[in-house]
């Protein structure tokens, strides 16, 4: 995993998140507007969760706000565990004002007194600077009691280090982990908006989702919604890695095509693009005109580029090994299903398979997608199904001319 | 059985039952849904599974158990809910909206079959060489779904070493399907918590603290996990081979005592409905398979009442009359070895509250190798003493090093109800067809008071029947209709009862004359007692006592480790449900009603043994040597 600190020397540019913003402005604006108007503005923006699931943020906040309970929580999901994703890290390191202001605005809107950042264990190195930042906010009364003079608006933020498992990014497993339990996803319903951290209504939001909020406050939901596509408004950070000249984090409006991306990052001889990390889908060249959007190929931000020298079967094997290890082990389809899919890949690798068995495994994959308890198992067969489908010529060609590993 | 607020089970495994709306019963408290196109109305918050059950729609389950909080992990119970992208686990889905459910679509059936195939692929073993053959939920599920091969392969080597360190519970994790019922049983039902899933992904397995052998952790041997395990991953440590050897050895005189709970339940092992008492058929069957004598554990249950009741009266006198501050009250019962070990681990500072009286099993053991051996003229070294018990903890109990007061191991083998049934079947006997015979002399048939020890509240009821008569000099029937002490009966987890003794006391009976001159000091007193079953409930009561709450004011508390008392013990037939336990209880209480002698102090064999053998009476010198014991402060941390 990369852990290098990206310096802010190279100024980033982008339509929303990488645009100019002054710390505290969004909070001031939100406090002037009042809760209901904040919710209306967020609803107008049609902002959807950036953590992967794409649930409308305004709805989540409304549900949490509507829950009748004196104690509520806002959790910032900074677990960033999806392979190939590192955009939340950029936001936390370079744009903490957006993330934290977003958390204050969110807390104000849903009626929470406490915000919690669930920080990926590997990001421990940024803990000190983030804590310092929060301390500064307290000094400036952006946190603490009666924030910016608003009587009764008390709110503070704490940072908790993650347990180091991919599953802990899943919101209910995250809550389990926060409560000191083993990271396992919960049964739903009820949802965290009703019964979350410590049994209290809790809104779990991705770092990037929260970081979009201050800009929506400043420039309005309508402005935000003019960008992107009809169902995917605003912009998105993409963590682009793999075989390309300029990997990194880019902010683009939703709706860009894969081909646009490849051009932007200077990718040559691209054979395949994995959209959405290990749990996403793998697209061949024939599908490079597809759009990045919730309605077409959705992603929490990870885009991995593979050129013609890559062996698709080994890529798939890597993904499946990841899931075999990272499944929380709770439910049958995911715990054992991923093992079977990995075994299938190994059978193909050794050329000891029957097509009938591989078909069985694809059917099993479909069962895993609908019968697993949480998003991990539900999405883990995606690569298996898409790679075997989209690259069947390479994989099942006995000459194995897919290139070296 | 468990509710959200009083469980320690991880939230990931809890039901999060929707709170009943205040308007329940009126419109709004119920909701209209559709299952398989049939319109139904159910209370808000009902799970899909319960809604199906109430309407005779079968949905397969595996991790779900009515006694436990909900896990939602096996996924075998998935159904389709219209409009939802994924299938939903019906056991874990509370209905809060007017949903439409389908329980048998092609996707649903395929998913269930896949899930069964996956479980079988990692499940080591073959049914014909398995203790749960014929009574296994995984096997039944495979049958229900017509599994005729291993779609995704089958492990051919065990994945884990078998842990047979414990006298009571054997863990064979190669057969575990990770339904976590045992975890939930141990934490949620029993408040012990020695089992937990550890590691992730394909390495996930059920483990003890630091993966230690079960004998080296704070397991209380209650076996409740065995009763709820759907497979053979958990089983009791079975001594039947050694018992056969003893039976087949002509030099050995092999005797067996039968406890009341196995008799009320063993019929289930032979396909009978729960609630058919087999007491007298069992006598015949055990004799036919080669035991030399069959005795009734209720005899020593009656003896326990005499000893434990006397001990209580002594403690009360010391506290009330002698104002002896060192006397420990409330006195706790000590006949449930699971409870005893629980107390030793979790509340070691309270072991002096335990009655020093041994359990009926162990009292019998001590008498068999002394009084009985002498009476029949057999060298006690050649006597092999077996006990049919509803309990897996009894196996541990008879192996406690202090249980050798007869000069030998007092009880050689604890045999569970299930194992006894297995031996009987092995001998080619169909138990329900056996003629009825009585217990063997010199102990004969015992009283109904000893019998009801099998149900929660039974020890207390037996004690009250005796204490009331010995102290007040009246018939218990004059105070309680037919002598049935209804307030201490029933399956409520914790029962608290106050018994004002009134101003009239009777004369001190001869047998107690050496201990107390009169009962005047009990005039006007109110006896406060409580009845507790399931160690999760025991924890609540113990914490209350620690905090100086109302239970600390009690004089006598009956504790049983297992839900329902012994009739719900870890050695009883599988499956177990509240309904089954209730039927077993009914069988026990009905049998009590049918007996002529229903009070321990009226058991003539008991009176005779005080005349002939334990001549210095209850709590006298010899009974202290043979019938009483001491306990060990174990604590929560074991070396
Ligand atoms: C296996 C798994 C891992 C996840 N990891 C993350 C993560 O690292 N960060 C994140 O924000 N969301 C993650 N999610 C999504 C969260 O469950 C949740 O939907 C999200 O935090 C909600 O925030 P949003 O609405 O702002 O996207 C993960 C989901 C799954 C199933
Ligand atoms: S899908 Fe996988 S990660 Fe999710 S609960 Fe099941 S085993 Fe755990
Ligand atoms: S546990 Fe059940 S399925 Fe497994 S071998 Fe035994 S009887 Fe068969
Ligand atoms: S026997 Fe009782 S204490 Fe021991 S593991 Fe099983 S449930 Fe827990
Ligand atoms: S040991 Fe039995 S009860 Fe426990 S998880 Fe395994 S199969 Fe389930
Ligand atoms: S029975 Fe419902 S998930 Fe196991």
**Residues B266-291 pLDDT 10s:** 999 999 999 999 999 999 999 999 99
Residue ending a domain, among A244, A278, A307, is A307
CATH 3.40.950.10-classified regions of chain B: 306-356+447-573+595-614
Interface test with A, best of B95, B111, B154, B198 (most A CBs within 10 A): B111
Mean pLDDT of B428-440: 97
Total residue count of chain B as it appears in this document: 639
- Looking at the fold, whether A75 and A55 belong to one and the same domain comes out as yes
B8: closest chain A residue by CA: A181
CA distance A32 to chain B (A): 37
Whole-number pLDDT of residue B15 = 42
Contact B530, B558 (CB under 8 A): yes
Residue A182, both tokens = 């083993």
The domain B4-104 having CATH identifier 3.10.20.740: the answer here is: yes
Whole-number pLDDT of residue B7 = 56
Q: How confident is the model at residue B568 (pLDDT cuts 50, 70, 90)?
A: very high
B234 lines ligand 5 (CB under 6 A): yes
Mean pLDDT of A222-251: 97
With 0-12 / 13-18 / 19 or more C-beta atoms within 10 angstroms meaning exposed / middle / buried, residue B148 is exposed
- H-helix segments, B59-149: 106-121, 137-144
Is B122 designated active site?
A: no
Give the residue carrying structure tokens 């339990």.
Answer: A181
What are A10-26's pLDDT values in tens digits? 679 999 999 999 999 99
- Looking at the fold, whether A49 and A194 belong to one and the same domain comes out as yes
Is A212 inside any structural domain?
Answer: yes
Is A292 inside any structural domain?
Answer: yes
Whole-number pLDDT of residue B313 = 95
Q: How far is CA A252 from the centre of its chain?
A: 16
Task: List CB contacts (< 8 A) between B118 and chain A.
Answer: 332-333, 336-337, 340, 364
CATH 3.10.20.740-classified regions of chain B: 4-104
| CA–CA separation, B488 and B497 (whole Å) | 7
Q: Which of B91, B179, B186, B335 is catalytic?
A: B335
* pLDDT at residue B4 tops 50: no
Contact A283, A275 (CB under 8 A): yes
Q: A322: domain CATH number?
A: 1.20.1440.230
Greater pLDDT, B476 or A405 = B476
Contact B285, B432 (CB under 8 A): no
| CA–CA separation, A394 and A403 (whole Å) | 9
**Out of B115, B151, B203, closest to residue A332 by CB:** B115
| CA–CA separation, A369 and A334 (whole Å) | 9
Is B553 designated active site?
A: no
Element (H, E) at A226: helix A221-226
Is A7 inside any structural domain?
Answer: no
With 0-12 / 13-18 / 19 or more C-beta atoms within 10 angstroms meaning exposed / middle / buried, residue A249 is buried
Whole-number pLDDT of residue B28 = 60
Question: Phi/psi of residue B50, each to 5°?
Answer: -65, -40
Q: Which of B80, B269, B307, B308 is catalytic?
A: B308
Element (H, E) at A277: none
Is B498 designated active site?
A: no
Q: Which ligand is nearest to the CA of B177?
A: 5
Whole-number pLDDT of residue A163 = 84
Number of structural domains (chain A) is 3
Is A179 inside any structural domain?
Answer: yes
**Out of A186, A326, A373, closest to residue B11 by CB:** A186
Q: How far is CA A212 from the centre of its chain?
A: 14
| CA–CA separation, A285 and B582 (whole Å) | 67
Ligand 4 atom nearest to CA at B223: 1
The sign of the CA dihedral A169, A182, B163, B424 is negative
- Looking at the fold, whether A105 and A75 belong to one and the same domain comes out as yes
**Out of A179, A335, A372, closest to residue B202 by CB:** A335
ipTM: 0.94
Mean pLDDT of B454-482: 95
With 0-12 / 13-18 / 19 or more C-beta atoms within 10 angstroms meaning exposed / middle / buried, residue B63 is buried
Interface touch A190/B203, C-beta < 8 Å: no
Residue ending a domain, among A226, A259, A291, is A226
Is A18 inside any structural domain?
Answer: no
Interface test with B, best of A67, A198, A370 (most B CBs within 10 A): A370
Interface touch A176/B122, C-beta < 8 Å: no
What are B109-118's pLDDT values in tens digits? 999 999 999 9
Interface test with A, best of B17, B114, B181, B231 (most A CBs within 10 A): B114
Among candidate residues B126, B135, B192, B182, the one with its CA nearest the CA of residue B154: B126
Is B91 designated active site?
A: no
What are A159-195's pLDDT values in tens digits? 999 988 999 999 999 999 999 999 999 999 999 999 9
Is A264 inside any structural domain?
Answer: yes
CA distance A375 to chain B (A): 10
- Looking at the fold, whether A57 and A91 belong to one and the same domain comes out as yes
**Residue A403's CB: how many other CB atoms inside 10 A?**
13
Whole-number pLDDT of residue A4 = 38
Whole-number pLDDT of residue B445 = 87
Give the Cα-Cα-Cα angle B3, B4, B10 (nearest 5 degrees): 120
Residues 6+ apart with CB under 8 A from B182: B195, B206, B225, B228, B229, B233, B234
Is A10 inside any structural domain?
Answer: no
Q: What is the DSSP string of A45-56?
A: HT-B-SSSS--B
Whole-number pLDDT of residue B8 = 55
Interface touch A333/B178, C-beta < 8 Å: no
Interface touch A332/B201, C-beta < 8 Å: no
- Looking at the fold, whether A287 and A343 belong to one and the same domain comes out as no
Whole-number pLDDT of residue A397 = 79
Q: How confident is the model at residue B69 (pLDDT cuts 50, 70, 90)?
A: very high
CA distance B200 to chain A (A): 5
Q: What is the DSSP string of B467-515?
A: HIIIII-S-HHHHSGGG--GGG-SS-SEEEEEEE--S---PPPGGGTTT
Contact A302, A280 (CB under 8 A): yes
Q: Which ligand is nearest to the CA of B230?
A: 5
Is B402 designated active site?
A: yes
Contact B97, B34 (CB under 8 A): no
Q: A86: domain CATH number?
A: 3.40.50.11540
Three-state SS annotation for B106-125: HHHHHHHHHHHHHHHHCCCC
Mean pLDDT of B238-261: 98
Domain housing A262: 235-307
**Out of A184, A329, A336, closest to residue B10 by CB:** A184
A333: closest chain B residue by CA: B115
Q: A302: domain CATH number?
A: 3.10.20.600
What are B25-47's pLDDT values in tens digits? 445 689 999 999 999 999 999 99
Superfamily of domain B306-356+447-573+595-614: Fe-only Hydrogenase (Larger Subunit); Chain L, domain 3 (3.40.950.10)
Give the residue carrying structure tokens 């902002």.
Answer: A47
Walk across the sheet containing A270-275 and list its strands. Answer: A248-253, A235-242, A302-307, A270-275, A281-284
Contact A197, A178 (CB under 8 A): yes
| Beta strands in B119-242, from DSSP E residues, in sequence order | 169-171, 196-198, 205-207, 234-236
- Looking at the fold, whether A277 and A211 belong to one and the same domain comes out as no
Mean pLDDT of A252-261: 97
CA of A167 to the centre of ligand 1 (A): 9
Site residues for ligand 2, CB cut-off 6 Å: A 167, 185, 327-331, 334-335, 372-374, 376-377
Whole-number pLDDT of residue B3 = 39
Site residues for ligand 6, CB cut-off 6 Å: B 61-64, 72-77, 89, 91-92
Among candidate residues A388, A346, A329, the one with its CA nearest the CA of residue A363: A388
- Looking at the fold, whether A143 and A263 belong to one and the same domain comes out as no
- Looking at the fold, whether A276 and A345 belong to one and the same domain comes out as no
Residue ending a domain, among A244, A274, A307, is A307
Task: List CB contacts (< 8 A) between B85 and chain A.
Answer: 370
Whole-number pLDDT of residue A11 = 78
CATH number attached to the domain at B117-236:
3.30.70.20
Task: List CB contacts (< 8 A) between A352 and chain B.
Answer: none
B220 lines ligand 4 (CB under 6 A): yes
Task: List CB contacts (< 8 A) between A364 and chain B.
Answer: 114, 118, 152
Give the residue carrying structure tokens 């599974």.
Answer: B49
Is B394 designated active site?
A: yes
Mean pLDDT of A331-358: 97
Mean pLDDT of B147-152: 96
Q: Which of B15, B261, B355, B447 is catalytic?
A: B355
- Looking at the fold, whether A218 and A239 belong to one and the same domain comes out as no
Three-state SS annotation for A301-324: CEEEEEECCCCHHHHHHHHHHHHH
B330 preceded by cis ω (within 30°)?
yes
Is B566 designated active site?
A: yes
Residues 6+ apart with CB under 8 A from A56: A43, A46, A47, A48, A49
Protein residue with its CA nearest to atom 8 in ligand 5 = B179
CA of B155 to the centre of ligand 3 (A): 13
- Looking at the fold, whether A241 and A343 belong to one and the same domain comes out as no
- Looking at the fold, whether A178 and A243 belong to one and the same domain comes out as no
Q: How confident is the model at residue B248 (pLDDT cuts 50, 70, 90)?
A: very high
CA distance B101 to chain A (A): 15
Contact A233, A254 (CB under 8 A): yes
- Looking at the fold, whether A112 and A247 belong to one and the same domain comes out as no
* pLDDT at residue A5 tops 90: no
Mean pLDDT computed over every residue of chain B:
94
């Amino acid at each position: 995993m990369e852990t290098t600190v990206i310096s802010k020397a190279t100024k980033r540019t982008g339509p929303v998140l990488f645009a100019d913003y002054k710390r505290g402005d969004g909070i001031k604006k939100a406090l002037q507007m009042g809760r209901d108007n904040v919710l209306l503005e967020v609803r107008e923006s049609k902002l959807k969760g950036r953590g992967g699931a794409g649930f409308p943020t305004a709805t989540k906040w409304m549900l949490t706000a509507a829950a009748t309970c004196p104690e509520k929580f806002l959790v910032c999901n900074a677990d960033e565990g999806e392979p190939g994703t590192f955009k939340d890290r950029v936001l936390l390191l370079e744009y903490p004002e957006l993330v934290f202001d977003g958390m204050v605005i969110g807390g104000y809107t849903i009626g929470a007194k406490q915000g919690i950042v669930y920080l990926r264990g590997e990001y421990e190195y940024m803990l000190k600077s983030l804590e310092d930042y929060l301390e500064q906010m307290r000094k400036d009364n952006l946190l603490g009691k009666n924030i910016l003079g608003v009587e009764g608006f008390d709110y503070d933020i704490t940072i908790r280090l993650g347990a180091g498992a991919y599953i802990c990014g899943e919101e209910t497993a995250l809550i389990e982990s926060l409560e000191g339990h083993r990271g396992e996803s919960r049964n739903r319903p009820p949802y965290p908006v009703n019964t979350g951290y410590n049994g209290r209504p809790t809104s779990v939001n991705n770092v990037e989702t929260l970081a979009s909020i201050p800009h929506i406050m400043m420039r309005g939901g309508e402005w935000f919604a003019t960008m992107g596509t009809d169902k995917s408004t605003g912009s998105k950070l993409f963590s682009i890695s793999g075989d390309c000249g300029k990997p990194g984090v880019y902010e683009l409006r939703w709706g860009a095509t894969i081909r646009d991306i490849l051009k932007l990052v200077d990718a040559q001889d691209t054979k395949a693009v994995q959209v959405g990390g290990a749990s996403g889908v793998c697209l061949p060249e024939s599908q490079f005109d597809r759009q990045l959007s919730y309605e077409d190929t959705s992603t929490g931000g990870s885009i991995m580029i593979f050129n013609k020298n890559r062996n698709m079967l080994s890529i798939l094997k890597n993904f499946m090994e990841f899931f075999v290890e990272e499944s929380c082990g709770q439910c049958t389809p995911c715990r054992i299903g991923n093992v079977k899919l990995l075994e299938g890949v190994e059978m193909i690798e050794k050329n000891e398979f029957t097509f009938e068995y591989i078909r069985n495994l694809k059917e099993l994959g479909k069962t895993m997608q609908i019968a697993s308890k949480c998003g991990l198992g539900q999405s883990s067969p995606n690569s298996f199904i898409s790679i075997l489908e989209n690259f069947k010529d390479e994989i099942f060609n006995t000459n194995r001319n897919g290139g070296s590993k | 059985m468990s509710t959200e607020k009083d469980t320690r089970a991880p939230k990931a495994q809890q039901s999060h039952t929707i709170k009943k709306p205040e308007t329940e019963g009126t419109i709004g408290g119920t909701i209209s849904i559709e299952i398989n196109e049939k319109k139904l109305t159910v209370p808000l918050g009902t799970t899909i599974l319960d809604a199906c059950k109430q309407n005779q729609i079968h949905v397969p389950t595996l991790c779900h158990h009515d006694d436990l909080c909900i896990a939602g992990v096996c996924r075998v119970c998935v159904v389709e809910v219209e409009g939802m992208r994924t299938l939903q686990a019906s056991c874990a889905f509370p209905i809060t909206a007017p949903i439409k459910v389908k329980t048998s679509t092609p996707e649903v059936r395929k998913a269930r079959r896949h899930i069964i195939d996956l479980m079988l692929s990692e499940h080591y073993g073959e049914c014909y060489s398995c203790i749960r053959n014929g009574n296994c939920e995984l096997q039944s599920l495979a049958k229900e779904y017509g599994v005729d091969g291993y779609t995704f392969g089958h492990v051919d080597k065990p994945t884990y070493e078998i842990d047979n360190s414990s006298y009571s519970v054997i863990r064979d994790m190669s057969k575990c399907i990770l339904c976590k019922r045992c975890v939930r049983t141990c934490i949620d039902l029993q408040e012990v918590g020695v089992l937990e899933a550890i590691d992730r992904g394909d390495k996930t397995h059920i483990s003890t603290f630091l993966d230690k052998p079960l004998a080296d952790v704070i397991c209380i041997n209650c076996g409740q996990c065995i009763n709820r395990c759907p497979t053979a991953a958990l089983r009791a440590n079975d001594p039947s081979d050694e018992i056969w050897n003893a039976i087949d050895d002509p030099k050995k005189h092999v005797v067996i005592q039968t406890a009341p709970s196995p008799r009320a339940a063993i019929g289930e092992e032979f396909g009978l409905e729960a609630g058919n008492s087999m007491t007298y058929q069992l006598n015949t069957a055990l004799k036919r398979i080669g035991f030399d004598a069959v005795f009734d554990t209720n005899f020593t249950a009656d003896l326990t009442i005499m000893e434990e009741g006397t001990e209580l009266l002594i403690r009360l006198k010391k506290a009330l009359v002698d104002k002896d501050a060192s006397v420990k009250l409330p006195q706790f019962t000590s006949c449930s070895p699971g409870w005893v070990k629980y107390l030793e681990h979790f509340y070691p500072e309270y072991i002096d509250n335990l009655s020093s009286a041994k359990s009926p099993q162990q009292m019998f053991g001590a008498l068999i190798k002394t009084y009985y051996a002498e009476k029949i003229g057999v060298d006690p070294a050649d006597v092999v003493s077996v006990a049919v018990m509803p309990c897996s903890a009894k196996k541990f109990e008879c192996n406690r090093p202090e249980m050798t007061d007869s000069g030998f191991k007092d009880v050689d083998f604890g045999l569970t109800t299930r194992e006894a049934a297995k031996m009987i079947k092995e001998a080619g006997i169909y138990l329900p067809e056996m003629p009825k015979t009585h217990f063997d002399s010199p102990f004969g048939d015992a009283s109904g008071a000893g019998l009801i020890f099998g149900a929660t509240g039974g020890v207390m009821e037996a004690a009250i029947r005796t204490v009331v008569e010995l102290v007040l000099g009246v018939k218990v029937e004059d105070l309680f209709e037919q002598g049935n002490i209804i307030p201490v009966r029933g399956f409520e987890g914790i029962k608290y009862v106050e018994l004002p003794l009134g101003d009239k006391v009777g004369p001190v009976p001869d047998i107690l004359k050496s201990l107390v001159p009169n009962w005047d000091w009990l005039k006007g007193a109110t006896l406060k007692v409580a009845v507790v079953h399931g160690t999760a409930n025991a924890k609540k009561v113990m914490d209350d006592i620690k905090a100086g709450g109302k239970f600390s004011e009690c004089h006598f508390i009956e504790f049983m480790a297992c839900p329902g008392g012994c009739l719900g013990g870890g050695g009883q037939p599988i499956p177990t449900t509240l309904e089954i336990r209730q039927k077993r209880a009914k069988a026990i209480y009905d049998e009590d009603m049918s007996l002529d002698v229903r009070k321990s102090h009226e058991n003539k064999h008991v009176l005779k043994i005080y005349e002939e053998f334990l001549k210095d009476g209850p709590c006298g010198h010899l009974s202290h040597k043979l019938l009483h014991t001491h306990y060990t402060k174990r604590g929560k941390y074991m070396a």
